[in-house]
Structure 1
Amino acid sequence: MRKLTILVRSPNWIGDAVVSTAILGPLRKHFQNDKIVVVAKDYVSGIFENNPYVDDIIIFKGFKDIINKIKGDIGIILPNSFSSALLFALSGIKRRIGYKSEMRSFLLTEAIDLPKLKKEHLVENYKRIIIHLAKEENLNGFTPKLFLSEDEKKEPIFEKFSIPCKTEPVIVDPGSAYGRTKVWQVEKYAGLIDYIMNMKKLPVILLGSKDALYLVEEIIKRTKNLPFVLTGKSSLRESINVISRSKLFISPDTGGMHIAASLGVTQIAIFGSSSPLWTAPLNPLSHVIYKRLPCSPCFKRRCPKETYDCLKEITLEDVKEKVEELL
């Protein structure tokens, strides 16, 4: 019997891409002897590296660059965008499965009714596509998971960045590419860092993309202790490796949060404008702090009331209390 090629179009946000790894194990279980290929933007492709369920990763840089590279029998389109369906249609993939959205149904061979978004966890959104394809209602094992290579596990990652960590550090990833409505106040982060370093005698590493450097600078201006700064210095794979070795990971609802969850790291997730129902970390060691105000969740990038009460209501004491419980 001819081996099939199944192509999976990855989401474009790092956090969503991490959540999407949940489908790969069940997909491999159903298509045991077939080829599974992930099509992903360069900046999220590292999420799928070393995944034992994936045979290949194709980097998507643009339509002209990739159309001739994408060949397969079944296309699973996880993003709800028109362009992601168009890509697989132009590539000539025979079966193209995804949700009805953005007037793209004519580009799909199997268009699934789009459920009401943000009323269930995102992983259920992705799971439903695989259940449709496999025709197995009892297919299970939909858990996001990232994998490190043996070389990555052995790498002296802290020494690589001249961080003299003798004990497992606490990692704080304070930024969010989404917007200010996910970012806790800098003075509270500063107070939290000082508390961890003074009272718990643990090193703190600030992590995140270079876009969060301005935020990190503002935090450091307010700290009495000096944390180590990896913000903007580590690659995605290096960040995954660093997070995997942390004692505790603290962040808002962001990509780093989902990375920590997929690695089974003890974590505290601070939620502002978004909803734990939709994007909570799927990790039994996660602890979500969320104030469900009458206006929550609004899912806005900027607070419509300009008050940011959903974040202001989360006090330093709220987070310190949880840290005290976990450390």
Structure 2
Amino acid sequence: MKKILVVAPSWVGDCVLMQPMLQRLIQRHPGAQIDVLAPPWTEKLLRQLPEVHAVIRNPFGHGAFSFSARRRLGAQLRAACYDQSIVLPNSWKSALIPYFAGIPLRTGFIGEWRFGLLNDARRLDKTRLPLMVERFAALAEVKGAELERPLLAPLLQVPAEQRAAMLAKFGLMLDKPVAVFCPGAEYGPAKRWPPNYYAELAQHLHAQGYVIWLIGSPKDKEVADKIVALGNRQVLNLCGNTDLAEAIALMSCADLVVSNDSGLMHIAAALDRPLLAIFGSSSPQFTPPLSDRAQVLKLDLPCSPCFKRECPLGHFDCMLKLTPQEVARHIPVHPQR
């Protein structure tokens, strides 16, 4: 049995986009044991992926170097006797732990002078592999091999009993169509559709008979509170009240998800929920929602995508000119569960 350690990305959405790579590894190595080294905030997502055998907590936060601690963790992982590691982040420090673990085959893209740490270093052709999901999946192939297409799309499945337990926990019913709003985006404000726009869309959907749930992290509670305060007392604000596994279970109940480009957007796509994905400073040419039921809503302005955390020009036109009326035009006419 082949044993593989995957060093996961730090973002929830990127971990969703990692799943086709895991699927391809299982195809190539039936019965393989795949363990994932990942930050704690992604753990509950990764534990729901059937391809993942175990999640090992990566205790190092964004930007933390901690050379000695990485060496100690790598030494601890030696006993697992992994055959291969696949390092998805491009940083030098992310390749340290597999090196210190003595894993014989260490795969990843060339970046930050990692030649000594990776002995299966690949050169990334961004033209041939424009999508992040393709870049991840290519690392599951033998060096020099073409990526096998079409890729399987990420897929999350929530058992009926888990869904029922979450509905009971929060006292929720499914007697009306459910619209889930995901108004946050961890990367920064340039990826967030304005709260007053979400508020106006909530009123529109409420008039059509929907109930609206707001889902996100504790960091999203302030913007969610604004949506409720702007004439939406009937909206249920769950931001900060669910962990990631609970959020996934509740989102699986949605007849419609409206989301910024965020980790929850990718989760909604993997759950195969009808999705309106709002893009501003980022690009669906790199990290689109991978679902036939997703509609990408964006304006093709000369200044976007800029990939900045805040609008560098100060006008925020990529979001402000994408009005609630325009987004409402794309709401499915007949909600389907």
Please, which of 55, 73, 79 is the counterpart of residue 89 of structure 2?
79
Q: Which has the higher helix share?
A: 1
Given residue 33 of structure 2, which amino acid in structure 1 is its aligned partner? K
Q: Which runs of 4+ in 1 moved over 6 A?
A: none
Indicate if the aligned counterparts of 2:21 and 2:139 stay in contact, CA closer than 8 A: no
TM-score (norm 2): 0.90
TM-score in terms of structure 1 length: 0.92
Cα pair distance change 1:256/1:50, threshold 3 Å = closer
Bigger CA drift: 215-224 or 126-135? 126-135
What is the CA deviation profile of residues 118-152 of structure 1, one whole-angstrom value per residue up to 9, with x for unaligned ones? 98211111122112359465465432122435642
**Residues 224, 205 of structure 1: alpha-carbon distance in 2 compared, 3 angstrom cutoff:** closer
For residues 156 and 72 of structure 2, what CA distance do their matches in structure 1 show? 28
* Matched-pair contact (CA < 8 Å) for 1:25–1:53: yes
Amino acid at match of 2:191: K
* 1:58-85 Cα distance to aligned partner (Å, 9 max, x none): 2222436732136311001111121211
Counterpart pick for 1:197 among 202, 206, 211? 206
Query: How far did residue 164 of structure 1 move?
Result: 4.1
**Corresponding residue number in structure 1 for 2:330:** 322
Partner of 2:14: 16
Structure 2: state its 5+ residue gaps: 61-69
Mapped contact 1:119–1:278 kept (Cα < 8 A) = no
Written as runs of structure 1 = structure 2, the 5 A alignment for 1:1-327 is 3-62=1-60, 63=70, 66-67=73-74, 68-69=76-77, 71=80, 72-116=82-126, 120-132=130-142, 135=145, 137-138=147-148, 141-149=151-159, 151-153=161-163, 155-198=164-207, 200-323=208-331, 325=333, 327=335
- Indicate the SS of the match to 1:105: coil
Please say if residues 71 and 96 of structure 2, whose CA atoms lie closer than 8 Å, have aligned partners that are also in contact. no
The 3-state SS of whatever aligns with 1:276 is coil
Cα RMSD for the two superposed structures: 2.1
What secondary structure, in the 3-state scheme, does the structure 2 residue paired with 1:239 have? helix
Compare 255-264 and 139-148 and name the one that shifted more: 139-148
State the SS of the aligned residue for 1:234. coil
Amino acid paired to 1:169? V
Say if 2:137 and 2:147, in contact at 8 Å, map to a contact too: no
Relative to structure 1, the CA distance from residue 98 to residue 277 in structure 2 (aligned partners, 3 Å threshold; closer, same or farther) is same
Are the structure 2 counterparts of residues 139 and 316 from structure 1 closer, same or farther at C-alpha, using a change threshold of 3 Å?
closer
Distance apart, 1:31 and its partner CA: 0.6
Structure 1 gaps, min length 5: none
Identity %: 31
